[in-house]
Amino acid sequence: MSEEFNPYRVWLGIPLDEQPPNHYRLLGLALFEQDPVVIENAADRQMAHVRTFQSGPNAATSQQILNELSEARLCLLKTDTKESYDAQLQIQIDPEPVSDNPPPEDLSAYSAAPVAQPVAEHSAPIAEPVQQPVSQTPIPGTPPPPPTATVNSIPKPTIRTRSRRSAVSGRHQSNSGIGILLIFSLIFGVAALLIVLLFLMEKS
């Protein structure tokens, strides 16, 4: 295989950063492909393409690539060899699995730092209240409360009120008395007039 010619890149389209290729990349498969039919068809396709270069100036390089394709096909089509190869490939791809949980932060540096204590301010002394001496003079006795007169002991003035009916009846009685006086006055007037007429008739 010459240094100027790169069959992986020219024939199989594998970039330089993915060389040397693993079995899946060499056959043009997805990583950790599980379907054996897909694996076999991919191997046949790649090998048929590389065989077209056997009659040219790169015949030896073509045979070397065909051998690698055949080896990758046999490894991935056998269950036991595929499992072992997948385990090794997984380690190469991800040698140290990164944990989702970050490591706990070391708090010793924070706990070792001295904590400044607040300085108490000089406050003025607070004057205590002066207690007044208790007087020794005896407290005069409380006078008894004045007698309170009960409501029932006070005589209530009786107010005579006329009912509406009695007022109306009295008014009718006064009116009837006036009428009787008028009748008697009329009778006396007529009687006096008759007496005067009789007296005049006797004189004539």
Under the banding of pLDDT at 50, 70 and 90, the label for residue 56 is confident
Alpha helices in the chain, H assignment, sequence order: 7-10, 23-27, 36-51, 59-77, 79-93, 108-112, 164-203
- Is this model's pTM higher than 0.85 or not? no
Determine contact, residues 65/11, Cβ cutoff 8 Å.
yes
Residues with Cβ < 8 Å from 21, sequence gap 6 or more?
8, 12, 14
Q: Rounded to 5 degrees, what are φ and ψ at 82?
A: -65, -40
Q: pLDDT tens digit string along 4-29?
A: 789 999 999 999 999 999 999 999 99
Q: Give the residue with greater pLDDT, 167 vs 183.
A: 183
Q: pLDDT tens digit string along 68-80?
A: 999 999 999 999 9
- The whole-angstrom separation of Cα 160 and Cα 162 is 7
Calculate the CA dihedral of residues 132, 134, 136, 139 and round it to 10 degrees.
110
